[in-house]
Each structure stands twice: as structure tokens, then as C-alpha cells.
Structure 1
Amino acid sequence: MTSREKESTGPGAHETSPWRLTLFVMFTAQFLSIVGFAFVLPFIPFYVREIGVTDEKLVPVWAGILLAASSLTMTIFAPIWGWLSDRYGRKLMVERAMFAGAIITMATGMIGDVYQLLFLRLLAGAFTGTIAASIALVSSVLPGTRLGFGLGLMQVAVFLGMSLGPWMGGMIADMIGYRLTFIAGGAILLVGGVLVMLGAEEKFIRPSAASLKRSGTMGMLFAMPGLVSLMVVFLLFHFSINIAIPILPLFIEEVGNLKTQVASTTGLLLGVTGATASISAAAIGYLSDRRGHKQVLIFNLFIASMLWAAHALARNIDQLLVIRILFGFAVGGNLPLMNALVGKLTPKESYGKAYGLTASMTSLGMTLGPLAGGIMASYMGLHWPFVVVSLLLSLVVIPLILSLKTR
């Protein structure tokens, strides 16, 4: 039994540990941060039109570039922030990500052209990253026997935010315009940052020089059995799903033949996906703690790949709504399962670096995916990219089956 398991299963551990309060605070703060960021998701392509991109063929390309830009800088900076969090504390990194996100999101509502928007997206990738920072903090305070459940609950916060954020943001954008909606999203992020600052508890003890020397390099992480394969899974998973992200609003516009209320309809469809994903995330996290994270993840990835292909067959909004509901149930548990596997493979004192590395692989996939999706949509139309997504996602299970030696 590891020291972490002894600590989490000893007499009275669950009653006296502050992990429950910190988990609740982080759940709430994560929800608020995702709502703030997701406010703008339904209308990024339409905001691109408003600030001066009039060539319709360039709209999906610019949407892909803008989504990829923040992911590119996050690929570079996420491991750096993770390395710092192992030395100075994970709570500080969460505060940094949320307050930076608040400032940058508000500023996005004040820009004059697409190049200024691109600059802010690059800054966002460098200085935000609330999900990875929050996961590292929560993982460091959770008992080992509650890792799957706790990370599943954090993913519920993400999906709830992704449900309400696009829906609320789309409705507000249709009523008051895109610029004020960015400012409102930034204000919500600010509230989340204050909540973490005042409510989250982390008993962080700076590691000794010997401990830092022993666990302070990325080479140590790459030497851990199975971790490199898991990084490949993170990269391929996020690359495949992000091919579709920048074109989804345009796809919904085409499938529904919509002329008005496009942002709110997009927000609704994204919202129902987040709602069903929220239901499945905690349940799958709880189940995987008992049945094995790897086996459940492989099954979920296969079902999700089939449902991506089904998107290409949709011919109206009603069909797309049904597909998005089922898709939410399929993907809800994937990320908490992947993060739980990282927690199982990595020692606690290296959580910052490990989750920083997963954030880097995630961001690299999110950099390449939107670029590929925007270019494919420009030349192949809006349906075929979903077929490509399905094929790529089905390949994600290969490194899981062949190399990962854990339940």
C-alpha cells in the first residue's frame, strides 16, 4: 500500500480531510471558468465576420486559426506552468489561469480586427489553462481511492459549463451583440478566480532539494512505463475531436438552413451535449474506480467514433439533436478516465509536470485539429471532416491496447 493510500484510508481520514471542501470549491470555480470561456463558442466564426473577414471561404479557415493559436502557445507554456506548480503550489497556478483568462476575455470584446483577435488568442494560450491547473490541484488533495470519482466530478463541472455557457452566451449575443458577451464572460471568470483564492485549501510543502533533483525532470516522466503511450492518446484524441470544433457552428447553420438565431441554436446543441456528458462523467468515473479505467475508456472511445460518423449523415436539426445527445453520453467519461490513468501512473510530487505534459499534448492536438478542420471544410465541404474524425478517433485505442499496462 502506497503512502497516499494509507493516508486516505486511515481511521477518520475522510471525516477530517479538507479534500471534500476543496473539491466542492474547485468544482464550482471550474464550472464558472468554463461558462466564462464557453460564452463565446457559438459565435466565433460570426465574430470573425463582424470584425472584417467577408470572404466566406476564409471564415472557417480563420476560425480554425484562432482556435489553434491559443492551443499552440498552450502547448509550449503548459509544461512550464506544471513544472512551476510542483515547486510553488498548484493553487497559485489555478489563480493565475483564471485571472489571466478574465482579463484576456474582456479585452477580446474591445478589439478592432482579426489580427488583434489572433494576438489575444495567443496570449490566452500562454497564460490560461484552467482545466489542467485545476486537475493538478484536485488530484493532489484527493484520496487515492476517490481519484476516478473526483476527476469525474471535475469533468461534470466542465460539461455543465459547456452546456450552459454556449446556450447562455448564444442567447446573450443574439440580444446584445458579441462584444458585450465577451466582457460578461470575462466577469464570470473573475468570480471563479476569487472563489479559488478565498475557498480552496492546499497544504503545499515545497519539496526538498533532493526531492526536486530526483523528480524534477521531464525525462523521469518519460521513463515511466505506459506514460508515453498515454500522451499519444491525449494527442490523437484531441486532434481528432478538434477537427470538427471550428466548423460545427457552420455545419449547424447549413444542416438547419438557418438564417436567424444561429448562435442560440448552436449554443443549444452544444448545451445538450454538455448536459448528457455531465450525467455520464461522474457515473463513469465511479464505475471505472471499480471496473478499471483502461477497459471503460476503450469502450467509450469506440462508441464516440461511431457517433462522429453519424454527424455527417444528419439532414436536419432534429436528427442532429438526437446525435448530439447520444454523443454526450459517449464522451462524458473519456477525459476523467484519461486523467485518472495519469494519476495512477505518476507519483504525487510530479503531478504538476505530468498534467502540464498532458495539457501540452492536448493543446498540440487542439492546435493541429482546428487547422486541419478549417482547411478540410474549405476544400471538402462541411460533412466529410466528421468522417475523418471518426476514423482518427478509432485509432486512439491502439496505443491503449498495446502499451498501457494498467487497469
Structure 2
Amino acid sequence: QRTLIVLFFSQMATAVGFSSIFPFLPLYVKSLGSSTGMSVELLSGLVFSAQAFTMMLAAPVWGRLADRYGRKLMIIRASFGGAIVLLMMAFVQTAEQLVALRALQGLISGIVAANSALLAAQVPRERMGYAMGTLQVGLGAGVAFGPLIGGIVADTFGYASAFYVTAAMLFLAGVLVFIGVQEDFHPQVSEERKGQGIFAFWGQLLKFPGVKPTYSLRFLIQLARSMLIPVMPLFVVELMADAARVNSFTGLLIGARAAATTVSAMFLGRLADRIGHRKVAATSAIFAGLFYIPQSLVTEEWQLLILAILVGVALGGVIPTLNAILARYTESGAEGAVFGLDTSIRSGARSVAPLLGSWIALSWGLRGTFVVTGLVLLATGFAARIILPEPAQPRKPSIPRPHPSNL
């Protein structure tokens, strides 16, 4: 219980820090300008994709190191390392420098995945939905307040000040875990398969029912959520008459959606433990898609805000339930690798999605991006009902783990 509480506040502090820069990042790119003549649209996509791409490469490595040396150490490493890189972003002179630092951030971060792995290693499988839902509440609460704080700080004190806030919150998250979490860690390695490498381990992992479909759905959900990241601030500029409030309103928009996700995750996580994770995940994804499509038709900012809140409510039933499914289908001791691979897969989606979203916006307009996002979520929801098995009892398959020497 103590670990859950500390990780809740660590997750919230991390989310406040990271999300505080989201409302204005494309506008920060525009204000910095390019030293190579690249377009603002392309650089706005790259500033998100670069971080996601490098995280996709690094996350599996950090995950296996977590299983070898402990998950707490990985949280501390990611928190303090991320704080330093985020602080450096306040001093960049060109958009290309910002893209480079975002790529570095992806290589050394991964706090959310490390928190999930540590929690999954200590929580009983039958309580996994509740625990992951609680962790999602921390994430959602941070994302609810972070964008609003970042938008206000950026409008009032300038873009650089928001990076100071971000770095401070990541540092605080690291301190909380360093002081508050006690991990009695003993690495578990299968004696009969000590020579097995990490790729062979992933092959064994993906063979078990539920794991491959869950990873596929995680990719699609992240793809849909990330396509709008570079588009949303530009859409708000088009929608609002008062350009001076763009950062603040974009922060309110992201924050309100995250707050709705936070509240719904508390209830839907418990509900999934009772009636089944597949049912809750599939239904929630379908409703999220249905609420995204009408956003392409809004003419007033309040209409966009209401629909964003409804999307947030629906997403509260998707994210923690898929986390819980991963934990239920895999055995204790492999959480670092499981959630490291999950982070890599989701980062792959995040590396593609901003560029895809920018291309859709250039081809069919900013509003077309909302339609495509909704269709992807609808397809994901129907796919979840078909491809996700729902065991009566949590499964704990015996998966041979790679020996540390083969990392």
C-alpha cells in the first residue's frame, strides 16, 4: 500500500512536469525558428516523433536492466536524467536543437513504464485492475493540472519558464521514490534456460494468449491519441478569436480531458476486475472514437472542451485495463521486460503518429485529423472484442528469462 501511494504521487509529479510543455511545444518550435530552412509543420512533428523514436529503441534495454538491477533504480535514473535534459531545453536557440534534446530525452526517460513495472511486481494479480487504475489516476491528475499550469506560465513568463517547472517536477518525482519506496529486489532467472537472450525471451512472451493482441491494441490506441498532438494547438488558434489565450486554453483542454480520464479510471478499473477487462477496454475504445469524430464539426471552443472531456471519460476505461491485461498474462519477475517492450511499442506509435497527423492535416485539413482518430479508435474497440481472450482466472505462464550476460 505504501509503494502504491508513493508511486501515485511520483506518477502525478512526473505527469505535471511532462504535460506542462505539451500545450505550447509546436508554438515554441515556431518561435525558435529553423536554422536549416525546415518547415514549422515538419519540425512540430519531429519534436514529438524524435523523442518517441529514441524511446522505442531504449525502452526494452531499460526494461531488462530493471529486471536485472531493480525497478526502483530505473525510476530514479529516468527522473534525475530527465530533469537535466528538460532544464537544458530552456536554453536552446533553434528548433533543431530542441529536436536533438527531445531525442536525448527519449533515450534516458521512461518513468511511467518503470512505475508500472515496479507496481506490477508487487501487486496481487487479482487486484491488478485496481492498482493500475490508481496509477492511471496519478497520471491523469498530473496531466490534468500540468497543461493548464504550463499554458499559464508560458503566457505569463515565457516558454523557457515552463521548462524550469518541468525539470523541478521530475526531480521531485525522483526524490519521492528514492526516499519512499522500499524494494526487496532479487532477480529471477530460469536455471534451465540461462543462455536465452532477450530476443528469444520476447519470442516466448509473444506466444502466450492475450499478449500479442494486447500489444497490438496498445499500438493503435497510442497512435490515435498521438496524431492530434501537433495539430491541437494549431486547431485552437484557428478556433479562437483571442490569440493571447491560446496556450492557456490548450492547457485547459488537455487538462480537462485528463481529469475526466482520472475520475473514470478509478471506477472502470474496479469494474474491469469484476466483469472482465476485455469488455471494458473494447466498449471504452468505441465510445472514445464516437466522441472524437464530432470534434471535426465544432465551431466554438466550449463545444471542443465538452467533447474532449467525454473522450477523457472513455479513455479511462482503456489505458489501465490494457495495463492490467498485460500484467495478468505474464508472470512475476518479468515486469521490467514486459512493460519495457510495451513502452517500445507505444513509442513506435508515438514516433509515427505526429508525422501522420501532420500529413493528414496538410492533406485534408486540421478537422480531418479528428475524423481519422475517431475511426482508428472505433476499429480498435471492435478488434478488442474479437482478438482479446478473457480468462476466468489470471494466467501466470512460465516464461524462461534471458540471462543478464545476454543483454
Distance 1:73 1:140, change over 3 A: same
Q: What is the rounded CA distance, in whole Å, between the counterparts of 2:283 and 2:383 in structure 1?
A: 14
Q: What is the rounded CA distance, in whole Å, between the counterparts of 1:141 and 1:149 in structure 2?
A: 13
The aligned amino acid for 2:68 is R
The aligned amino acid for 2:64 is W
Q: What is the rounded CA distance, in whole Å, between the counterparts of 1:346 and 1:225 in structure 2?
A: 10
Q: What is the TM-score when the length of structure 2 is the normalising length?
A: 0.92
1:7-406 alignment runs, 5 A limit: 20-53=1-34, 58-208=39-189, 210=191, 213=194, 217-406=201-390
In structure 2, list runs of 5 or more residues that go unmatched.
Answer: 392-407
Q: Alignment identity in percent?
A: 35
Q: Deviations over 1:205-235 (max 9, x none)?
A: 1224617737962122112122111111111
The aligned amino acid for 1:286 is R
The aligned amino acid for 2:328 is K
In structure 1, list runs of 5 or more residues that go unmatched.
Answer: 1-19
Q: Deviations over 1:101-159 (max 9, x none)?
A: 11111111111111111111111111101111110001111122221011001101111
Q: Deviations over 1:309-364 (max 9, x none)?
A: 01101111111111112111111121100000001111111111111111111101
Could you say what secondary structure the match of 2:390 adopts? coil
The aligned amino acid for 1:281 is A
Q: Deviations over 1:357-394 (max 9, x none)?
A: 11111101111111101122123221001111111112
Could you say what secondary structure the match of 2:62 adopts? helix
Match of 2:404 in 1: none
Q: What is the rounded CA distance, in whole Å, between the counterparts of 1:57 and 1:325 in structure 2?
A: 35
Q: What is the rounded CA distance, in whole Å, between the counterparts of 2:154 and 2:246 in structure 1?
A: 10
Distance 1:85 1:184, change over 3 A: same
**Do 1:163 and 1:272's aligned partners in 2 also have CA atoms closer than 8 Å?**
yes
Q: What is the rounded CA distance, in whole Å, between the counterparts of 1:211 and 1:108 in structure 2?
A: 47
The range that moved more, 347-356 or 53-62, is: 53-62
**Do 1:60 and 1:377's aligned partners in 2 also have CA atoms closer than 8 Å?**
no
**Do 2:187 and 2:333's aligned partners in 1 also have CA atoms closer than 8 Å?**
no
Q: What is the TM-score when the length of structure 1 is the normalising length?
A: 0.92
Q: Deviations over 1:256-286 (max 9, x none)?
A: 2332121011111111111111110111101
Deviation at 1:53, TM superposition (A): 4.5
Could you say what secondary structure the match of 1:312 adopts? helix
Q: What is the rounded CA distance, in whole Å, between the counterparts of 1:180 and 1:22 in structure 2?
A: 32
Deviation at 1:401, TM superposition (A): 2.8
Distance 1:55 1:271, change over 3 A: farther
**Do 1:229 and 1:399's aligned partners in 2 also have CA atoms closer than 8 Å?**
no
Q: Deviations over 1:43-69 (max 9, x none)?
A: 101101111159999333321111011
Q: Deviations over 1:174-220 (max 9, x none)?
A: 11100121122101110110110111121111224617737962122
Root-mean-square deviation (CA, aligned residues, Å) is: 1.9
Distance 1:54 1:302, change over 3 A: farther
Q: What is the rounded CA distance, in whole Å, between the counterparts of 1:162 and 1:56 in structure 2?
A: 33
Distance 1:292 1:170, change over 3 A: same
**Do 2:90 and 2:163's aligned partners in 1 also have CA atoms closer than 8 Å?**
yes
Deviation at 1:41, TM superposition (A): 0.7
Q: What is the rounded CA distance, in whole Å, between the counterparts of 1:35 and 1:93 in structure 2?
A: 20
**Do 2:148 and 2:252's aligned partners in 1 also have CA atoms closer than 8 Å?**
yes
Q: What is the rounded CA distance, in whole Å, between the counterparts of 2:53 and 2:87 in structure 1?
A: 21
Q: What is the rounded CA distance, in whole Å, between the counterparts of 2:363 and 2:386 in structure 1?
A: 35
Q: What is the rounded CA distance, in whole Å, between the counterparts of 2:38 and 2:284 in structure 1?
A: 35
**Do 2:34 and 2:96's aligned partners in 1 also have CA atoms closer than 8 Å?**
no
The aligned amino acid for 2:125 is G
**Do 2:133 and 2:269's aligned partners in 1 also have CA atoms closer than 8 Å?**
yes
Q: What is the rounded CA distance, in whole Å, between the counterparts of 2:380 and 2:345 in structure 1?
A: 14
Q: How many residues align?
A: 388
